[in-house]
Amino acid sequence: MPITRNSASMLPPVIKLLLISNIIIFVLELNAANQLISTFALWPIVPELSSLNPDINSFMLWQLISYSFLHGSLMHLLLNMYALWLFGAHLENLWGSRTMAIYYFVCVIGAGLVQLLVSSIGTQNGAYYPTIGASGGVFGVLLAYGLFFPNRILILLFPPIPIKAKWFVLLYGALELWFGITGTAAGIAHFAHLGGMLFGLILIYYWKKHPPTRI
Q: What is the pLDDT of residues 93-121, one digit of tens each?
A: 999 999 999 999 999 999 999 999 887 77
CATH code of the domain in which 200 resides? 1.20.1540.10
Average pLDDT over the chain reads 85
pTM of the predicted model over 0.85: yes
5 in any annotated domain: no
Whether residue 4 lies inside any domain: the answer is: no
**pLDDT tens figures, 145-165:** 999 999 999 887 767 888 899
What is the predicted pLDDT for the residue at 7?
65
Question: Does position 54 have pLDDT exceeding 80, yes or no?
Answer: no
* pLDDT number for residue 13: 97
Q: Is residue 215 domain-resident?
A: no
User: What mean pLDDT is predicted for residues 170-182?
Assistant: 75
For residue 19, being part of any structural domain is answered with: yes
pLDDT band at 175, cuts 50/70/90? Answer: confident
Domain coverage including residue 192 = 13-209
- pLDDT given at position 148: 96
Is 72 among the domain residues? yes
Count how many domains the chain has.
Answer: 1
Range of weakest confidence among 32-36, 45-49, 58-62, 160-164: 45-49
Candidate ranges 50-54, 56-60, 125-129; pick with highest mean pLDDT:
56-60
Least confident of 32-36, 85-89, 172-176: 172-176
- Say if residues 136 and 84 touch (Cβ distance below 8 Å): no
Euclidean distance between CA atoms 215 and 98, whole angstroms: 6
Rank 85-89, 115-119, 123-127 by mean pLDDT and report only the highest: 85-89
Q: Taking residues 15-19, what's their average pLDDT? A: 98
Among 29-38, 81-90, 174-183, top mean pLDDT goes to 81-90
Residue 59 lies in a domain: yes
Residue 142 placed within a domain: yes
Answer whether residue 155 is part of any domain: yes
